[in-house]
Amino acid sequence: MSKETQQQPISKGHSLWSDAWLRLKKNKMAMASLVVLIIVGVLCFIVPAFSIIADPNTQDLNNTFLSPNSSNWLGTDQSGRDLLARLLYGGQISLLVGIVATTVSVIIGLVYGAIAGYAGGKTDSLMMRIVDILYGLPFLVLVILFSLLISEHAKELTDNLVTRWPEQEVFIKKFVNLVPLFIAIGALGWLTMARVARAQVLTLKKQEFVEAAVSLGLSHRRILLRHIMPNMLGPIIVYATLTVPGFVLTEATLSFLGLGVESPNSSWGILLSEGANYMETYPRLLVIPSITFCMTLLALNFLGDGLRDALDPKAAKD
Amino acid sequence: MLRTVISRLLQGIIVVFCLLLVTFMLVRLMPGDPFSGEKAHAAHIIEKNKERFHLDKSNSEQFVVYLGLLARGNLGDSPVKEQPVSKIIRHSFPASLILGIAGISIAILIGIPAGILSALRKNSYIDYSTMVVAMAGISIPSFVVAPLLAGHVATRIPFLKVAGWGDPFDWVLPALTLGLATAAYLARITRGGMLEVLNQDYIRTAHAKGVRPAVVVTKHAIRGGIIPAVAYIGPAFAMLITGSFIIETIFQVPGMGQHFVNATKDRDYFLLQGVVILFGVLIVFANLVADIVLAMLNPRIRA
């Protein structure tokens, strides 16, 4: 704290974050996206909790393909299930995939990239060659292989958990059905994050404050965790936001192919693939999930872009 | 130059080898095997089949046997389809190649001009609308675009069919679906690259020397500005050839993408290994060609 800052209290509060927030607020598309995402989040996660909407899995074969009406606002699907309920519960899963898989990929990528960048030399080039090789792997195929592999082990876990808490069976089954997919997507999607993290560490480790930390005799771990990592947060958050829509899309693609989320769970990918079957006769079943899905992805992408421009003015391309 | 190419090819062989090794281990770690599918056979037939494909041996022995096959230019037989893998690939590769070439051409023809235009008219109405459309192109997945195109466009235009792969008209819709998403990415990348270049000193110098603006753009700016786009086109092309499973399914194209997913589902070890090798080789070559083009565009890399 120098005298200058005490004399000029106005300069207070211009941290990186408040600056970024000011820049983000000016970006109309990003703010509109933020509002859309908040609405979608509230609709998917909070509204179903109040049991206002119908149960997404109750079939009613007397009332299939109903048009939108007072009790089924968006109508019903081929098994008489309420489309609105399926859309919201499906949204929960689609959004969760994005969040969980991104978290997994950020953790792996951050640690891997930071170690590679900090170690430098041969370790660095070996670690980055491995990333290059993994980049060449067909992502979708690996996710399928990997999630099948994990789910096999997860089945044993389910049986154990169900015998312990039989009353939670539905929840446990739902959870175990999904987690392997989440982990598989995240565990294979960290490559770009590792590159970003490494590039950040490479620039940061040459700066004076790191040199100072080294000369004070701090351990490598402490320098990495306490001095370098906090300075990397901006770009990392930005790239994390930009990976969320990619992962949501991956889940939808897998579910569309019948390899992702399994029934009775629904996800946007499942709704889209089911809707595509009735495109000619009941276009509503394809169009409504499509609009919801595309709007959410669009909002996520715009927000990620806006955050990049706001947090990292140098990277902004205009 | 030649030296770089050779060293890159050697690296490429290592990459393809690692790729193969990973796939090889992963498919065998998965529960089930090629004979545990719907076609239930008697135990002794399964035993015999396993012996024929060396599946009764340990994984490392199997790998050695498989490498021996590869060394003789043989990709093995598919235990599920009961055909040589090379034959399956030969039958499905042409459709994928045509689709990939058509898709990447559409992407380049739309994406790069759109990106250049929006960089030149930065922050204008044209720029904003192009980028919003590009973002929509990225966000709307092919399995939404494809049914809509098939349902609404194909039924209205007489010579287009909803699905099938008979005459060149059938290429239009799948190639369009495949190309549009890539075009959206390309437009964004091109715009970014162009903006970076347009701020450089040598562009200002050219303007200061009185070079006509059109010449500055065509002779100086584009050359540097499309470098990131070229770097993206290489791997994207390989992806388009192999990764168009959804489009192949919807438009019923007899391509290779289906084998990736079906071989994984059926535990068709040899078919999956075969298509993965092909995919790896394609990626390596696409990257190599992209790098050579980059070196030609950018004198600083050439040294």
pLDDT score for B243: 64
Q: How many CB atoms are located within 10 Å of the residue B299 CB?
A: 10
Interface of B with A in 244-263 (CB under 8 A): 245-246, 250, 260-261
Tokens 């070079």, residue located: B211
The C-alpha atoms of residue A21 and residue A88 are separated, in whole angstroms, by 30
Can you spell out the DSSP letters for A95-123?
HHHHHHHHHHHHHHHHHHHHHHHHH-HHH
Mutate to test the interface with B, among A132, A148, A278 (most CBs of B within 10 A): A148
Q: Which residues of A touch B30 (CB under 8 A)?
A: 145, 148-149, 152
Pick from B14, B139, B264: which is nearest to A145 by CB?
A: B264
Q: What whole-number distance in Å separates Cα of residue A183 and Cα of residue A258?
A: 18
Instruction: Tell me whether residues B139 and A257 touch, CB distance under 8 A.
Output: no
* DSSP structure string for chain B: -HHHHHHHHHHHHHHHHHHHHHHHHHHHHSSS-TTSSSS---HHHHHHHHHHTTTTS-HHHHHHHHHHHHHTT---EETTTTEEHHHHHHHHHHHHHHHHHHHHHHHHHHHHHHHHHHHHTTTSHHHHHHHHHHHHHHHS-HHHHHHHIIIIITTTSTT--SS--SSGGGGHHHHHHHHHHHHHHHHHHHHHHHHHHHTSHHHHHHHHTT--HHHIIIIIIHHHHTHHHHHHHHHHHHHHHH--HHHHHHTT---SHHHHHHHHHHT-HHHHHHHHHHHHHHHHHHHHHHHHHHHHH-HHHH-
**Partners of residue B78 on adjacent β-strands:** B83
Q: How far is CA A214 from CA A116, A117, A175, B234, in A?
A: 18, 16, 45, 42
C-alpha B197/C-alpha B212 separation (Å) is 17
Inform me whether the pLDDT recorded for B280 exceeds 90: no
Is there a contact between A294 and B136 if contact means CB atoms under 8 Å apart? yes
Please give the C-alpha separations between residue A263 and each of A236, A248, B264, B269, in angstroms, as whole numbers.
Answer: 35, 18, 21, 28
In tens, the pLDDT along B215-262 reads 888 888 888 888 888 888 887 888 788 767 778 888 888 888 888 878
Q: Smallest CA–CA separation between A272 and chain B, in Å?
A: 7
B138-to-A234, A249, B89, B128, B145 alpha-carbon distances in Å: 24, 10, 30, 15, 11
Neighbour tally for A137: CB within 10 Å: 21
Say whether B195 and A318 touch across the interface (CB within 8 A). Answer: yes
- At B192, the amino acid letter reads G
* pLDDT score at A159: 78
Partners of residue B83 on adjacent β-strands: B78
Give the mean pLDDT of A99-107: 89
Q: Which residue has tokens 């909070």?
A: A46
| Closest CA of chain B from A142, distance in Å | 8
Q: Is the dihedral of CA B290, B275, A194, B131 positive or negative?
A: positive
Query: What is the overall mean pLDDT for chain A?
Result: 80
Instruction: Give, as one character, the DSSP assignment of residue A167.
Output: G
Q: How far is A59 from chain B (nearest CA, A)?
A: 26
User: For residue B169, what are the contacts with CB-CB under 8 A and spacing of at least 6?
Assistant: B159, B160, B161
For residue A29, the chain B residue with the least C-alpha distance is B132
The pLDDT of residue A8 is above 70: no
B250 interaction partners in chain A (CB closer than 8 Å): 276
Give residue A112's pLDDT.
92
- B143 vs A283: CB contact, 8 Å cut-off? no
Residue linked to tokens 């959870």: A175
Closest approach of chain A CAs to the CA of B109, in angstroms?
A: 23
User: Would you state the pLDDT for residue B109?
Assistant: 95
> Cβ(A101)–Cβ(A114) under 8 Å?
no
- Calculate what percentage of chain B has a pLDDT beyond 70: 96
pLDDT tens-digit readout, A274-299: 887 787 788 888 888 888 888 888 88
> Do residues B286 and B237 lie in contact, with contact meaning Cβ atoms separated by under 8 Å?
yes
Enter the tokens of residue B265: 């589902």
Is residue A145 pLDDT above 70, yes or no?
yes
pLDDT tens for B80-97 read 788 898 999 898 888 888
Mean pLDDT check: name the lowest of A17-31, A203-217, A223-237, A301-315: A301-315
- When the pLDDT of each residue in chain B is averaged and rounded to a whole number, the result is 83
Closest to B189 (Cα-Cα) out of B290, B300, B101, B257: B290
Give contacts of B196 with chain A, Cβ < 8 Å: 317
pLDDT of residue A317: 43
Give the distance from residue A174's alpha carbon to the nearest chain B alpha carbon, in angstroms.
21
Q: A136 contacts in B (CB within 8 Å)?
A: 15-16, 19, 280, 283-284
Residue in chain B closest to A134 (alpha carbons) equals B19
> In this structure, which amino acid lies at residue A303?
L
What pLDDT does A5 receive?
A: 47
Confidence of residue B303 (pLDDT cuts 50, 70, 90): very low
B117 lies within 8 A of chain A by CB: no
Confidence of residue A136 (pLDDT cuts 50, 70, 90): low
Q: Which amino acid is at B66?
A: Y
Q: How far is B45 from chain A (nearest CA, A)?
A: 27
What percent of chain A lies above the pLDDT cut of 70?
89
What is the average per-residue pLDDT within B39-58?
75
- Examine the pLDDT at B8 and tell me if it is beyond 90: no
Task: Enter the tokens of residue A13.
Answer: 């509060």
For residue B195, what are the CA distances in angstroms to B123, B190, B232? 11, 8, 17
Query: B84 phi and psi, to 5 degrees?
Result: -65, 140
Any CB–CB contact under 8 A between B141 and chain A?
A: yes
Cβ within 8 Å, pair A253-B139: no
Query: Residue B61 pLDDT > 70, yes or no?
Result: yes
Our CA-based measurement puts residue A133 at a distance from the nearest CA of chain B, in whole angstroms, of 6
What is the dihedral sign for C-alpha B232, B238, B242, B248? positive
- State whether residue B188 sits within 8 Å of chain A by CB: no
Q: Which of A100, A102, A111, A305 has its CA nearest to residue A194? A: A111
- Please state which of the ranges A127-131, A157-161, B177-181 shows the lowest mean pLDDT: A157-161
Q: What is the pLDDT, as a whole number, of residue B144?
A: 80
Closest CA to B25 of B281, B258, B279, B269: B269
Q: What is the rounded distance in angstroms from the CA atom of residue B40 to the CA atom of residue B32?
A: 13
Chain B residues within an 8 Å CB radius of A29: 132
Which residue of B21, B27, B139 to mutate against A (max A Cβ within 10 Å)?
Answer: B139
Cβ pair B141:A279 closer than 8 A: no
Separation of CA B97 from chain center: 10
The CA-atom distances, in angstroms, between A45 and each of A6, A16, A85, A89, A151 are 45, 31, 12, 8, 25
The phi, psi pair for B15, rounded to 5°, reads -60, -45
Are B80 and B271 spatial neighbours (Cβ–Cβ below 8 Å)?
A: yes
Burial of A173 (0-12, 13-18, 19+ CB in 10 A): middle
Q: Between A144, A286, A305, which is nearest B147 by CB?
A: A286
pLDDT digits (tens, 9 = 90+) for A245-257: 888 888 888 887 7
Q: CA–CA separation, B297 vs A198, rounded Å? A: 27
More confident residue, B68 or B15: B68
Contact check, Cβ <8 Å, A132/B123? no
B147–A276 C-beta distance less than 8 A: yes
Inter-chain CB proximity A145 and B27 less than 8 Å = yes
Q: Which residues of A touch B132 (CB under 8 A)?
A: 29
| AA letter at A80 | G
* Tens of pLDDT, residues A190-248: 888 888 888 888 888 888 888 899 899 999 888 888 888 878 877 787 788 878 888 88
